Structure 1
Amino acid sequence: MTPAARVQAAIDVLDLVIEAARANGAPADRIITDWFRPRRFAGSKDRRAVRELAYRAIRACGDMPASGRAAMLRLAAGDPEVTALFDGTRHAPQPIDPAEPVATSGVAPAWLMKRLAASGIGEIEARALLDRAPLDIRVNTLKAGCLSLPEGGERTVAANGWRYPPETRIEDTDAYLSGAIEIQDTGSQLTCEVLAARPGEIVIDLCAGAGGKTLALAAAMEDQGRLIACDSDRTRLSRLAPRAQRAGVSRIETVLLDPGREAGELASFSGQADAVLVDAPCSGTGTWRRNPEARWRLTERQLARYVETQARLLDIAAGLVRPGGRLVFVTCSLIDEEGAGQAEGFLQRHPGWLVRAPVLPVGAPRGSGLRLSPYRDGTDGFFVARFDLL
């Protein structure tokens, strides 16, 4: 592909990304992968170049663009080399008409910027949410004896964390294929450390998803005790079993939950858990480095639903913890309604709980918890709070 043809390809991909964002469809990375599948003429350099152009354009636009071309024109407005490729040659985009629409620049839609500002996230810190994320891995201590780490990494502040350049093909390494390492952001690893899961305990991961944090908890527990992974998404939860097998984990129990009926389905664990992790569904504002188009998908109504769901899950989790046990609340969000405000609401509804401030090597206090951000801590954005039952 010529450089100009790559720009047109990125425009075509962006049209699909924008369409999916409007319809709450597939994420950009999957769209890009699927777009290239039938186009075997595109080599690895072409795929990499088109992907980079598409993501650069996504990051350059604040509001959702009207089209892929409008998004690429926003990128071209600050890049003369890209502008020159709108030359109208074969497979290239047509020359730029000065009167045609150009997407607006910015970090996020105006209503989201107001929410971030109200949560103490200024312009500079907000812009860091769109930086390209590094590749972080967690050493799986259950298989550390057979570990040979890939070259090019450096230690992170997480107990078992290493960081690599974002383009590292870590999934092709023997360490990954053997289960000796897992891909996991440093901030995500640190939130698991706050739970302080120990061997022999009963630990519940209430919103396990595909099990990234579940596997970290299993390693901390040395695969001893009871670890219950729960989620209402059958597809995501089904991915945990093969991941656990690769990681050498054998003691995970899975519970598929029916939304709205979780309390009844978990009644057998009432008052028994030593620790419960609530990694609640949220807006994902802290993960924009990895999913920059996610800021176009979010609406105020969706945010309100997330806040309601988080409060309900916290109330359910509170009933699962034994006296003397602990509950850790996590969201990958920098909006206070999903962090400090949510924690404060929990304490008001449940006066028998004590705040135990997380002690981590990074992060800044926010309400009853701690907030991590890309700008200050080099991690994804997280809020984490720990509560102990008296």
Structure 2
Amino acid sequence: MRLGGRLSAAIEILADIEARRRPVADALKDWGLSHRFAGSKDRAAIGNLVYDALRRKRSYGARMEEETPRALVSAAALETLVSGPQALYAALEGDRFAPELPGAEALSRFLDDDAHQAPAAVKADIPDWLAPHFEAAFGEDWVAEAAALSDRPPLDLRVNTLKSDRETVLAALKPFSPEPCALSPVGVRIAPIEGDGRHPNVQVEAGFQKGWFEIQDEGSQLAALLSGAMPGGQVLDFCAGAGGKTLALSGAMENSGQIHAHDADRQRLAPIYDRLKRAGVRNAQVHDPRDDLSSLEGAMDIVLIDAPCTGTGTWRRRPDAKWRLSEAALAKRTAEQDAVLAAASAFVKPGGTLVYVTCSVLGVENADRVEAFLDRNAGGFLPIDMAARWAEILPDVSPAYRAVPIAGVAAGGLMLSPRISGTDGFFIAALQAAS
């Protein structure tokens, strides 16, 4: 496909997402199934345009003075693929599949306007109602923090130390120019996509099939490491989902002790079995949602809660989610977080640790939930200083890097974000149960 066909396809997909309020991944998949002539490079380039348009929907719309799919896709093309309106017109000349573009004046205005006069929420590329939440979470830097959630993300991998090491994985993936992650000692990073490129499908690589590595954002890797899981311990991964943190915990525990992987949703839990087998994990026991966990009450050294949340910290990867999020959905999530904290805390042994993690950057889901839990359990749990824990568990991370994520401490917890730490947005807090 030429550029014109790719632009038309992206416009069609955005219109479908807008009309049916459906996830972008579903819309892209359906388009690909109904347009099988499109090759993998075409699908990747179209996906880039769609994702870029959604990431910066508000600022692109303000600069184009319209928020139509045509305007947004044209803006994304100007920002990432061509050097200006004339280059765009030249690339589309003679292409019978090319869409009708906004006029030259509109395209030139887009390039001349960086939306610096726009309202703060527009510059931040978030809905208006979320602006107070971001300001409360990040203070005067909130616009820059929110805007960083609109950048293209890297592809992060976690080395499975049960089967391999970072040098081996770096060598195996050399064609893709991987680099060690800056913070995680078991992380490998492939840089964000440029232009109409695409990330490699690392899951077809021999190293992945052999269980040498897993796809996992560096922030999620840090959350598992900072839980404090040690060889020989007893750990309950209370909201295990597909098992990403269970796998990371097993590596930290050197396949010893016991990890109990539980989730209330059987469908979310289903992929964990194959992942555990491929990774060579022997110290994890998966619990069906119907299983009786009463024998684990008061017996766990660590209970990790990867809590259900709005996912605001993952907007670089799921930009459509920010336009579907509502105040009602946020209120539902905070109620679920309170409930899961109450339920999971029963499994922590005296002196043990309750670890609360979200992939959200909103204070109402993070520090507020921890503080509410502490208020309801006065004297039962005390917050752990995550700055000190960082220095203890990750002593080899340079002081310059160490100071960056710790700047996000709140209620004893740690805030990570694309701008603060170069990771997805995460909140990590640990509470020690009274002895």
Normalised TM-score (structure 1)? 0.88
What aligned pairs does 1:171-190 form with structure 2 within 5 A after superposition?
171-190=203-222
Q: Which runs of 5+ in 1 are unaligned?
A: 259-263
Query: Is residue 57–residue 67 contact of structure 2 (8 Å, CA) maintained in 1?
Result: no
Further displaced range: 296-305 or 158-167 = 158-167
Name whichever structure is richer in helix by fraction. 2
Structure 2: runs of 5+ lacking an equivalent? 111-117, 193-198, 391-401
Q: 2:99 aligns with which of 86, 93, 101?
A: 93
The one-letter amino acid of 1:250's match is: R
Number of the residue aligned with 1:355: 383
Partner of 1:383: 427
Which residue in the other structure is 2:224 paired with? 192
Aligned equivalent of 1:238: 270
**Which residue pairs with 2:10 in the alignment?**
10
Distance 1:181 1:274 in 2: 27
Confirm whether residue 133 of structure 1 aligns to residue 153 of structure 2: yes
Deviates most, 165-174 or 230-239: 165-174
Deviation at 1:76, TM superposition (A): 6.5
- Distance in 1, matches of 2:358 and 2:101, equals 45
C-alpha displacement at 1:141, in angstroms? 0.9
Question: Percent same amino acid among aligned pairs?
Answer: 41
> Within 5 A, what are the aligned runs for 1:269-348?
269-348=296-375
Matched, 1:114 2:132: yes
TM-score (norm 2): 0.80
State how 1:57-76 maps to structure 2 within 5 Å.
57-62=53-58, 68-69=69-70, 71-72=72-73, 75=76
Q: CA RMSD in A?
A: 2.7
- Within 5 Å, which residues of 2 pair with 1:21-170? 22=21, 25=22, 27-62=23-58, 68-69=69-70, 71-72=72-73, 75=76, 80=85, 84=89, 90-96=96-102, 106=123, 107-120=125-138, 122-144=142-164, 147-149=168-170, 150-151=173-174, 152-156=177-181, 157-166=183-192, 167-170=199-202
In the alignment, the residues of structure 1 paired with residue 210 and residue 37 of structure 2 have an alpha-carbon distance, to the nearest angstrom, of 33
Per-residue deviation, 1:19: 4.0
Pair 163,10 (structure 1): closer, same or farther in 2 beyond 3 Å: same
C-alpha separation in 2, matches of 1:377 and 1:335? 16
| Structure 2 residue matching 1:16: 3-state secondary structure | helix
1:21-77 deviations in whole A, cap 9, x for unaligned? x2xx4x323432342234232223322221111112112213999753353355468
How many residue pairs align between the two structures? Answer: 378
Distance 1:373 1:82 in 2: 35
Match of residue 215, structure 1, among 222, 234, 247: 247
State how far apart, in whole Å, the 1-side matches of 2:73 and 2:316 are.
19
Runs of 4+ in 1 over 6 A off after TM superposition: 63-66, 85-88
Q: Aligned partner of 1:72: which letter? A: V
Instruction: Describe the shift of the 1:81–1:139 C-alpha distance in structure 2 as closer, same or farther (beyond 3 A).
Output: farther
